[in-house]
């Protein structure tokens, strides 16, 4: 193989630069359009992420300047932090159960709704989507599952004669994780669901006719071979949302079970970050946790994306 | 991918910006040394707390009293009882010369009777015949705590009926107007041109008042029966001092009819000139300091004195509102000099947009007399916008009013016809609660659905009683609908309850099933009675016009209204709300201007702003840049280097958090500060510390070296508010069931058993997922009572492996494991219904109960928390009632502080007695009695309007107060003690082992935190 002389390399680099410049000159308006969001994205997303990665190698108590401590935070986190292992376990448990259930619900509900008439559809979408936009709507579960003997669930169970004394749903470790999952699933019909509903509407009707000619025999085949493949982008989007949602469960547990919850029974990675960042003020360590969570999310996202490409094959 | 990024980023932002709460560290045992400094005298032997047997006598209602005495005719005598008729008196009562108290016209007494806030005084007098009378009292208001004077009245040694338990005598307040350049009175304005709400100034005068129903249920003066011969009349003080000039026994008063009124002024002409407007914001006087004029910015149609309504500045332009909704509150206006004598059409421009479907009646007085029957209740209806109303007959015909210059027009709150309905509803509610308690005695609070309790055989009267109550309530609903002419949303609550009670009485098998729902409905009946007895009303102006002429429309046109709204919207972007109230623009760069942050509400902010202007800046000349911020903002601002110099109202955990990271100022730097001689707030360092109960400083000490030596220990904050637990009890329920109030935890066990037998409950706070220290405070109290402590003396580890700690922990968990105390409950509701007649809770609940549960007035009280019997060093036995006290605090931020000395000066001013007392009084006048300020300044606390007896119990309990020290890693305490509690109570684990395990976990974290901050740690054994 012929090696390039340094002069050649220089020439190539110069051409590259020229090309880039040319490209930029041709598309300058596109860059201009991107600028406002690009700036915000860089300032408030890229920069903090980088900062957090850098801080994860330091000891930082928030009020005093950070000091570099190398991999200490990661060593402690992965080797000797029992609570972190609990948090990962809880997060994965919640993600593995609520993620797929939420996602399947998301697809199924949007498909079912798609079959309805336009007016009923609008109403149903509003009803199902409402919980996820109305902020802390899940606090209603705090009232439902109140440990008071007059709480809704406890009251009903006592009235039915199933229990004799109220169950402390919010503080008894036997029940907490299940309640948490229930709430997360209830909340899961979010943006992904909405994009799916829209996705169903964009499918070209003629495809179905073509499908019948080609020998589609029932609605399931229609769903699997035509509907789902044609809305792959929306499905992808919903999947990403579903993953991030189930990994970032945190506010729900804080509001309903307190942070930290009894014996860390529903302590998630996000709660762990809050605990270290806001309660103990070990921001460097909190950043290390955040970085690990970030890596976890990216990895599981990759896996899901690959799995989804198999739809319709 | 962007999504993932932004999620991570959200995590980071929240992690960086949110609040603080960390570790803390406390000084050595300063506590003992400081006890000597303690300002409060601890007189533990002489407690005013209540224990043991309680008695409660059911007192007749007014109706029962009148019925029992229906044969006695109305009397005709006029008897005046003067100071020389005093027969019995307590220590503080003084017979003084009348000349000592400035006399206004018509009040000349040779001798007067002075009674203090705890005094009783009895008068004796003779009547010639049996008869019914009204009682009129002439009294002088003396300096007290600015609240109504309250007396319990007894006739011949007995309380005649319930309505006299709190006879109320009002005071007299005026606005502190400023004289404007044009010679007229007006409001003080800040440099932006906003009107500042005038201070309320009390004027001490002689007043004359009939004894009225303090609840407002009866609109006419109350009637009393006196027998032939000698009678006595006793005033027992409940609140405030009072000087009594005379007590007059007068024949029952009747008000003239309108026709008689007209004939009395036969010669007067009808006015025929232009309409005259009296702006309501310029009141002559009022009975309550909460009746200040205020700024209405909601609409352009609110009339403003002599200037145009501007959307950019606030004008004080009306009076009343939800502050003017309680009984006995009156506002007066004086007719101006340029008004010609004659008959006027008197119209009020009013608004009542709070109680939908209800009325806010007012009684009209002209020169302290109700002129005619129709004026006894002006029925102001619900209206969303300003409207006009004049005195009128039932058929709508207007009643004219004769006025002359100098005449005083007064409007006083009244319930009109609602009074009777509410009284009956209240009595019915008590009856229903009694029936409810009888039912749960048999069924328990959680009845078995499948069991027939045969209630119709066991308690037939009560079951029938439900039906009777339902009928009574039905008649009330019908009556109210007829009175207001519409069905308000509140009445649906009553209808539901009526339907349910009818069902329960007809089919007693259903009672068990309906019970919990029934309780909710009963509780909402209580809430309804409470809200229906509020009669809020706003008055914009009073119009005096020629009869049958046109008057100014209360509304403005659509376009003017629209323009105003648009301007208001724009103004919300341009107006600097932090600057409102400043006399001149604050120069933030001035070295002598400090920045103070306040994280409470806008009402609090405005009061602090005004206090700063009126006293701090006025006396020192230093400016303060006061800013209202979000609690969470303090930390991030300090990190960013734009933090304040002083922060107010911080949680008890904060000072040590900031101190550990070298961001809080050690106040001991100022320990040589001598203050200014003669100043009531600029005191020396020691005097400043003496303002507080010494224990409350404990959480703010922090030892920066970590060996527990006093010289290393700094003080990083001063307490502002304090809170601790007391034990509430229902007198009537406990007396009826013969249950004693326990003095110790041992006695409590007996009490709980007795309560459980009757299916009643005892309440002890439990930590919830949101409030983590509810339960641990109880544990800490017990721990200190047992002689244990949370930490070892050098604070290097917990001290939870001692016998005392294990004993306390077992005691605490045992109540839940063996005696089944409820783990979650709503104290206020259960206390009202009486199913939880005894409970431990924060003393601040007192205010809420006093305001929102009038049906149990006089049926409850509070006392010290149960204690533990101990033996002191001399071998004497005593009961230790220790309770956990915790504080909010104010601290100086040292990083980028512009002026430490001035920050300290400000802190001294803010925590001083005059400042804290005025703040407490003003916040109560703005937000009402339920917002009573629980200041940590002991002298200021004395000046807040607590009734004397109640305050004594609080002082007793406070003298037992113990504060939890704060250390590095404090957050682990509540967390793991709660975990230990739950493991023992839910999972039946062994108490000793569990506590031991968690103590280890906490110790490990303390050691870790101490290493982090380079403090010496516990040596491994």
- Which of A45, A171, A270 lies closest to B6 in CB terms? A45
Do the Cβ atoms of B741 and B750 come closer than 8 Å?
Answer: no
**Up-side HSE of residue B819: CA atoms within 13 Å toward CB?**
24
- In this predicted model, what pLDDT tens digit does every residue of B767-776 receive, in sequence order? 887 778 888 9
- The answer to whether the Cβ–Cβ distance between A260 and B638 falls below 8 Å is no
Which of B1, B4, B1001 has the most A C-beta neighbours within 10 Å, making it the best mutation to test the interface with A? Answer: B4
Q: Are residues B390 and B298 in the same domain?
A: yes
Residue B928: predicted pLDDT: 74
Q: Looking at the complex, report in whole angstroms how far the Cα of residue A76 sits from the nearest Cα belonging to chain B.
A: 12
A290 touches chain B (CB under 8 A): yes
- Which H/E stretch holds residue B914? helix B913-927
pLDDT-derived band at B10, boundaries 50, 70, 90: very low
DSSP helix/strand/coil, B647: strand
pLDDT per residue over B132-185, tens digit each? 999 999 999 998 888 889 999 999 988 899 888 889 999 999 998 888 888 788
| pLDDT higher than 50, residue B20 | no
Instruction: Convert the pLDDT of each residue in B668-686 to its tens digit.
Output: 989 888 888 888 888 999 9
pLDDT at B944 over 90: no
Question: Taking CB atoms and an 8 Å limit, are B658 and A63 in contact across chains?
Answer: yes
Same-domain pairing of B873 and B935: no
Q: Between residues B27 and B973, which one has the greater pLDDT?
A: B973
Residue range B874-904, pLDDT digits in tens: 888 889 999 999 889 999 998 778 789 999 9
Tell me the mean pLDDT in the region B401-408: 93
Instruction: Indicate if B891 and B788 belong to the same structural domain.
Output: no
Asked whether residue B50 is assigned to any structural domain, the reply reads no
Q: Tokens in use for B180? A: 């404007």
Residues in chain B with CB shorter than 8 Å from the CB of A295 are: none
Looking at residue A194, its pLDDT comes to 82
Q: Is the pLDDT of residue B537 over 50?
A: yes
Task: Please give the Cα distance from B282 to B542 (Å, whole number).
Answer: 11
Please tell me whether residues B388 and B471 are part of one structural domain: no
Q: CA–CA separation, B607 vs B917, rounded Å?
A: 12
Cβ contact B289:B256 at 8 Å: no
**A162 contact residues in B (CB cutoff 8 A):** none
Residue to mutate among A263, A275, A288, A298, with most B CBs inside 10 A, is A263
Q: Are the beta carbons of B662 and A244 separated by less than 8 Å?
A: no
Residue with the two structure tokens 């609602």: B418
- Cβ contact, residue pair A279, B895, below 8 Å: no
3-state secondary structure of B184: coil
Does B803 or B852 have the greater pLDDT score?
B803
Query: Looking at the domain assignment, is residue B573 inside a domain?
Result: no
Please state, in angstroms and rounded to a whole number, the distance separating the CA atoms of residues A273 and B49: 48
By Cβ distance, the residue of A165, A256, A290 closest to B11 is A290
Interface check B549 vs A, CB under 8 A: no
Cβ–Cβ < 8 Å for A74, A84: no
Q: At what angle do helices A173-187 and A232-247 cross, to 10 degrees?
A: 150
Q: Specify the pLDDT at position A206.
A: 86
Those of residues 990-1009 in B touching chain A at CB distance below 8 A are: 1009
φ/ψ of residue A193, rounded to 5: -60, -45
The domain boundary, picked from B532, B552, B570, lies at B532
B525 and B543 inside one domain: no
pLDDT digits (tens, 9 = 90+) for B961-984: 999 999 988 889 999 999 999 999
Residue B263 forms contact with A (CB below 8 Å): no
Q: What is the pLDDT of residue B24?
A: 33
Question: Can you name the residues that pair with B140 across neighbouring β-strands?
Answer: B206, B243
pLDDT at B30 over 70: no
pLDDT of residue B446 exceeding 80: no
Which stretches within B758-888 are classed as H helix?
774-785, 803-817, 827-833, 845-852
Residue of B234, B204, B215, B223 lying closest to B75 (CA atoms): B223
Cα-based torsion angle of the residue sequence A204, A206, A212, A216 in order, rounded to the nearest 10 degrees: -20
Q: What is the pLDDT of residue B115?
A: 92
Question: Which residue segment(s) compose the domain that B939 sits in?
Answer: 31-35+591-721+887-962
Measured distance CA(B27)–CA(A183) in Å, rounded: 45
Q: Is residue B942 part of a domain?
A: yes
Query: Per the CB < 8 Å rule, is B19 touching A147?
Result: no
Q: Span B992-1008, mean pLDDT? A: 92
What is the CB neighbour count within 10 angstroms for residue B552?
A: 14
Q: Does B336 touch chain A (CB under 8 A)?
A: no
Domain-embedded: residue B227? yes
> Does any CB of chain B come closer than 8 Å to the CB of residue A131?
no
Measured CA to CA, the distance from residue A10 to residue B844 in angstroms comes to 80
CB contact under 8 A, B11 and A270: yes
Contact across the interface for B662 and A158, Cβ inside 8 Å:
no
In residues, how long is chain B? 1021
Contact B650, B935 (CB under 8 A): no
Whether chain A has a CB inside 8 Å of the CB on B230: the answer is no
CA angle in degrees (0–180, nearest 5) for A128-A180-B1: 70
Report the pLDDT value the prediction gives residue B120, as an integer from 0 to 100: 92
* Chain B residues within 8 A of A173 when measuring between CB atoms: 982, 986
Q: How far is A109 from chain B (nearest CA, A)?
A: 23
Helix locations, B758-802, DSSP H: 774-785
Inter-chain CB proximity B978 and A262 less than 8 Å:
yes
Sign of CA dihedral B861, B866, B871, B873: negative
pLDDT band at B610 (very low <50, low <70, confident <90, very high): confident
Q: How far is CA B57 from CA B123, B152, B576, B859, in A?
A: 24, 15, 58, 10
Query: What pLDDT does B660 receive?
Result: 87
Residues of B in contact with A159 (CB under 8 A): 449, 513, 516
How distant is the Cα of A40 from the closest Cα of chain B, in angstroms? 11
Question: CA-CA distance, B437 to B453, in Å (whole number)?
Answer: 15
Structurally, how many domains does chain B consist of? Answer: 5
Shortest alpha-carbon distance between residue A186 and chain B (Å)? 20
User: Which of A214-228, B91-105, B285-299, B341-355 reaches the highest mean pLDDT?
Assistant: B341-355
What is the rounded average pLDDT for all residues in chain B?
A: 86
> Among A59, A258, A280, whose Cβ lies nearest the Cβ of B769?
A258
Instruction: Look at residues B561, B577, B611 and tell me which one is the last residue of a structural domain.
Output: B561
For B445, the closest of A149, A160, A283 (CB atoms) is A149
Closest-CA residue in chain A for B653? Answer: A279
**Cβ within 8 Å of residue B394, ≥6 positions away:** none
Q: Residue B907 pLDDT more than 90?
A: yes
Q: Hey, is the C-beta of B510 within 8 angstroms of any chain A C-beta? A: no
Let me know whether B449 and B342 are in one domain.
no
Q: Is residue B88 included in any domain, yes or no?
A: yes
In-domain check, residue B56: no
- Residue B255 within a domain: no
Asked if residue B31 has pLDDT above 50, the reply is no
> Could A61 and B661 be called an inter-chain contact, meaning their C-beta atoms sit closer than 8 Å?
yes
How close B776 gets to chain A, by Cα (Å)? Answer: 14
pLDDT at B679: 84
Provide the shortest C-alpha distance from residue A142 to chain B (in Å).
10
**Could you tell me if B380 and B492 lie in one domain?**
no
Cβ contact B20–A281 (<8 Å) = yes
pLDDT-wise least confident of B66-70, B710-714, B726-730: B710-714
pLDDT tens profile B702-725? 988 877 777 888 999 999 999 999
How much is the average pLDDT of B292-320?
A: 82
- At B454-471, the pLDDT tens digits run 888 888 888 899 999 999
CATH number of the domain to which B77 belongs:
2.60.120.260
Please state, in angstroms and rounded to a whole number, the distance separating the CA atoms of residues B586 and B433: 58
Per-residue model confidence as pLDDT tens digits over B735-756: 888 899 999 999 999 999 999 9
Provide mean pLDDT across the span B324-344. Answer: 92
Please give the ipTM for the structure prediction. 0.81
Q: Could you tell me if B134 and B281 lie in one domain?
A: no
Contact B969, B1005 (CB under 8 A): yes
Per-residue pLDDT band for B306 (boundaries 50, 70, 90) equals low
All structural domains of chain A, each given as residue ranges with its CATH number in brackets, are: 7-55 (no CATH), 73-308 (1.10.3720.10)
B612: domain CATH number? Answer: 3.40.190.10
In 3D space, the residue among B93, B153, B89, B84 whose CA is nearest the CA of residue B117 turns out to be B93
Same domain? B652 vs B543 = no
What percent of chain B has a predicted confidence (pLDDT) above 70?
Answer: 95
Say whether residue B988 is in contact with chain A using an 8 A CB cutoff. Answer: no
Which chain B residues are Cβ-neighbours of A241 within 8 angstroms? 3
Interchain pair B22, A280: CB under 8 A: yes
Chain B interface includes A251 (CB < 8 A): no
* Stronger pLDDT, A288 or B600, i.e. the higher one: A288
Instruction: Assess whether B503 and B545 both reside in one domain.
Output: no
Tokens 């405005």 map to which residue?
B606
Contacts of A279 in chain B (CB under 8 A): 21-22, 971
Assess B978–A contact: CB distance below 8 Å, yes or no. yes
Query: Is some CB atom of chain A closer than 8 A to the CB atom of B450?
Result: yes
Please choose, from the candidates A62, A276, A286, the residue with its C-alpha nearest in 3D space to the C-alpha of residue B969.
A276
Domain boundary among B198, B216, B250: B250
Which chain A residues have a beta carbon less than 8 Å from that of B823?
A: 147, 166, 168
Is the omega angle on the peptide bond into residue A260 within 30 degrees of 0, that is, cis? yes
Is the domain of B216 the same as that of B120? yes
Tell whether B892 and B860 lie within a shared domain.
no
Mutation target among B824, B970, B1005 for the A interface, most CBs of A within 10 A: B824
Confidence of residue B48 (pLDDT cuts 50, 70, 90): low
Which residues lie across from B403 on neighbouring strands? B342
Q: Which of A286, A283, A279 is nearest to A260 (CA)?
A: A279
Please report, rounded to a whole number, the percentage of residues in chain B having pLDDT higher than 90: 41
Instruction: Give pLDDT tens digits for B472-518.
Output: 999 999 999 888 887 777 788 888 899 889 988 888 887 877 887 88
Overall residue count recorded for chain A in this entry: 313
Per-residue pLDDT of chain A (313 residues; tens, 9 = 90+): 456 778 888 888 888 888 888 888 888 888 899 999 999 999 998 999 999 999 999 998 887 888 899 888 999 888 888 899 999 999 888 888 888 888 888 888 888 888 888 888 888 888 878 777 776 677 788 888 888 877 888 888 877 778 878 888 888 888 988 988 888 888 777 777 888 888 888 888 888 888 888 888 888 888 888 888 888 888 888 877 777 778 888 888 888 888 888 889 899 999 999 999 888 888 999 999 999 998 888 888 888 888 877 766 6
Tokens 């009574």 map to which residue?
A: B472
**What CA–CA distance (Å, rounded) separates B293 from B323?**
10
Q: Could you say which of B5, B971, B979 has the minimum Cβ distance to residue A262?
A: B979
């Amino acid at each position: 193989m012929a090696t390039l002389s340094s002069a050649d390399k220089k020439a190539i680099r110069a051409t590259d630069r020229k090309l880039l410049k040319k490209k930029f000159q041709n598309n300058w308006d596109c860059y201009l359009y991107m600028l406002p969001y690009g700036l915000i994205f860089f300032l408030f997303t890229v920069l903090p992420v980088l900062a957090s990665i850098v801080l994860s190698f330091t000891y930082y108590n928030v009020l005093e300047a950070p000091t570099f401590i190398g991999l200490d935070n990661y060593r402690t986190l992965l080797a000797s932090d029992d609570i972190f292992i609990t948090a990962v376990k809880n997060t994965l448990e919640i993600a593995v159960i609520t993620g797929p259930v939420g996602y399947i619900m998301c697809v199924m509900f949007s498909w079912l709704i798609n079959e309805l008439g336009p007016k009923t559809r609008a109403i149903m979408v509003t009803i199902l989507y409402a919980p996820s936009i109305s902020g802390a709507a899940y606090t209603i579960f705090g009232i439902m599952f109140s440990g008071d003997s007059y709480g809704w669930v406890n009251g009903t169970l006592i009235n039915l004669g199933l229990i004799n004394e109220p169950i402390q749903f919010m503080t008894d470790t036997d029940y907490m994780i299940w309640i948490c999952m229930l709430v997360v699933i209830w909340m899961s019909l979010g943006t992904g669901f909405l994009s799916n509903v829209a996705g169903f509407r964009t499918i070209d009707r003629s495809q179905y006719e073509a499908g019948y000619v080609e020998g589609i025999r029932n609605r399931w085949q229609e769903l699997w071979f035509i509907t789902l493949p044609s809305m792959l982008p929306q499905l992808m989007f919903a999947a990403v949302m579903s993953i991030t949602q189930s990994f970032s469960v945190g506010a729900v547990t804080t509001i309903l079970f307190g942070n930290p919850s009894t014996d860390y029974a529903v302590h998630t990675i996000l709660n762990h970050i809050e605990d270290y960042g806001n309660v103990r003020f070990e921001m460097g360590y909190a950043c290390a946790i955040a970085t690990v969570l970030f890596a976890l999310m990216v990895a599981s996202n990759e896996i899901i994306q690959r799995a989804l490409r198999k739809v319709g094959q | 991918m962007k999504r993932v990024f932004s999620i991570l980023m959200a995590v980071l932002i929240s992690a960086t910006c949110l609040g603080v709460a960390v570790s803390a560290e406390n000084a050595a045992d300063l506590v003992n040394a400081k006890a000597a400094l303690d300002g409060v005298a601890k007189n533990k032997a002489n407690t005013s707390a209540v224990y043991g047997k309680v008695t409660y006598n059911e007192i007749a209602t007014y109706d029962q009293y009148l019925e029992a005495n229906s044969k006695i005719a109305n009397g005709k005598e006029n008897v005046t009882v003067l100071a020389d008729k005093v027969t019995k008196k307590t220590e503080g009562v003084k017979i003084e010369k009348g000349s000592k108290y400035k006399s206004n016209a018509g009040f000349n007494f040779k001798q007067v009777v002075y009674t203090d806030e705890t005094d009783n005084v009895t008068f004796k007098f003779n009547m010639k015949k049996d008869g019914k009378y009204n009682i009129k009292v002439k009294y002088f208001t003396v300096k007290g705590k600015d609240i109504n004077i309250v007396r319990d009245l007894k006739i011949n040694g007995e309380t005649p009926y319930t309505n006299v338990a709190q006879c109320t005598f009002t005071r007299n307040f005026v606005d502190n107007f400023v004289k404007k350049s044009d010679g007229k009175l007006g409001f003080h304005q800040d440099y932006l041109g906003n009107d500042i709400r005038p201070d309320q100034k009390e004027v001490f005068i002689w007043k004359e008042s009939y004894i009225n129903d303090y609840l407002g249920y009866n609109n006419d003066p109350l009637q009393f029966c006196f027998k032939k011969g000698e009678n006595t009349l006793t005033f027992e003080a409940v609140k405030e001092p009072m000087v009594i000039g005379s007590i007059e026994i007068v024949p029952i008063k009747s008000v003239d009819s309108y026709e008689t009124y007209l004939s009395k002024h036969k010669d007067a002409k009808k006015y025929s000139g232009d309409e005259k407007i009296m702006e309501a914001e310029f009141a002559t006087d009022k009975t309550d300091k909460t009746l200040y004029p205020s700024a209405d910015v909601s609409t352009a149609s609110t009339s403003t004195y002599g200037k145009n309504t501007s959307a950019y500045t606030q004008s004080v332009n009306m009076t009343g509102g939800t502050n003017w909704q309680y009984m006995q509150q009156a506002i007066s206006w004086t007719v101006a000099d340029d008004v010609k004598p004659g008959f006027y059409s008197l119209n009020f421009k009013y608004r009542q947009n709070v109680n939908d479907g209800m009325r806010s009646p007012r009684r009209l007085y002209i020169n302290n007399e109700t002129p005619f029957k129709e004026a006894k209740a002006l029925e102001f209806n619900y209206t969303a916008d300003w409207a006009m109303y004049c005195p009128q007959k039932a058929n709508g015909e207007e009643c004219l009013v004769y006025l002359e210059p100098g005449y005083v027009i007064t409007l006083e709150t009244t319930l009109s016809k609602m009074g009777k309905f509410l009284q009956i509803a209240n009595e019915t509610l008590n009856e229903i609660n009694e029936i409810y308690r009888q039912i749960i005695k048999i069924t328990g609070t959680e009845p078995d659905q499948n069991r027939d309790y045969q209630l119709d055989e066991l308690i037939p009267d009560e079951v029938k009683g439900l039906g009777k109550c339902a009928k009574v309530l039905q008649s009330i609903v019908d009556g109210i609908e007829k009175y207001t002419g519409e069905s308000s949303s509140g009445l649906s609550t009553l209808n539901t309850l009526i339907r349910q009670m009818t069902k329960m009485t007809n089919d007693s098998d259903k009672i068990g099933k309906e019970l919990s729902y029934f309780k909710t409905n009963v509780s909402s009946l209580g809430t309804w009675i409470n809200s229906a007895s509020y009669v809020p009303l706003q008055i914009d102006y009073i119009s005096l016009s020629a009869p049958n002429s046109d008057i100014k429309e209360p509304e403005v046109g659509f376009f003017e209204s629209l323009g105003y709204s648009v301007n208001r919207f724009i103004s919300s972007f341009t107006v600097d709300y932090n600057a409102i109230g400043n006399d001149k623009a604050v120069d933030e760069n001035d070295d002598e201007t400090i920045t103070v942050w306040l994280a409470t509400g806008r009402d609090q902010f405005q009061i602090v702003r005004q206090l700063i202007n009126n006293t701090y800046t006025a006396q020192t000349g230093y400016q303060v840049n006061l800013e209202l911020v979000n609690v969470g903002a303090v930390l991030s601002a300090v990190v960013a280097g734009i933090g304040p110099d002083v922060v107010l109202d911080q949680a008890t955990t904060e000072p040590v958090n900031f101190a550990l990271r070298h961001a809080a100022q050690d106040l001991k730097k100022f320990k040589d500060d001598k203050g200014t001689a003669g100043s009531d707030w600029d005191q020396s360092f020691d005097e400043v510390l003496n303002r507080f109960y010494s224990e409350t400083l404990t959480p703010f000490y922090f030892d920066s070296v970590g060996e527990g030596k006093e010289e290393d220990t700094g003080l990083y904050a001063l307490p502002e508010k304090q809170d601790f637990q007391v034990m509430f009890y229902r007198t009537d329920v406990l007396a009826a069931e013969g249950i004693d109030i326990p003095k110790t935890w041992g006695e409590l066990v007996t009490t709980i058993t007795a309560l459980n037998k009757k299916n009643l409950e005892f309440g002890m706070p439990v930590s919830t997922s949101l409030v983590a220290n509810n339960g641990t405070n109880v544990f800490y109290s017990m721990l200190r009572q047992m002689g244990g402590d949370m930490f070892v003396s050098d604070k290097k580890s917990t001290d939870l492996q001692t016998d005392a700690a294990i004993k306390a922990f077992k005691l605490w968990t045992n109540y839940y494991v063996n005696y089944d105390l409820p783990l979650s409950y709503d104290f206020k509701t259960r206390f009202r219904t009486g199913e939880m007649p005894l409970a431990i809770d924060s003393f601040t609940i007192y205010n809420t109960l006093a305001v929102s549960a009038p049906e149990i007035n006089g049926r409850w009280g509070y006392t010290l928390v149960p204690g533990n019997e101990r033996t002191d060093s001399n071998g004497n036995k005593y009961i230790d009632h220790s309770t956990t006290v915790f504080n909010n605090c104010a601290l100086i931020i040292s990083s980028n502080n512009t002026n430490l000395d001035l920050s300290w000066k400000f802190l001294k001013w803010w925590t001083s007695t005059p400042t804290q007392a005025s703040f407490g009084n003003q916040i109560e006048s703005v937000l009402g009695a339920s917002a009573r300020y629980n200041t940590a300044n002991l002298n200021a606390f004395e000046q807040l309007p607590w009734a004397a007896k109640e305050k004594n119990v609080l002082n007793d309990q406070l003298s037992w107060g113990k504060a939890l020290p704060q250390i590095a890693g404090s957050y682990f305490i509540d967390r793991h003690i709660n975990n230990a509690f739950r493991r023992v109570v839910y999972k039946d684990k062994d108490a000793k082992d569990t506590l031991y395990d968690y103590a280890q976990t906490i110790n490990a974290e303390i050691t870790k935190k101490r290493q982090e901050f380079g403090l010496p740690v516990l040596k491994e054994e």
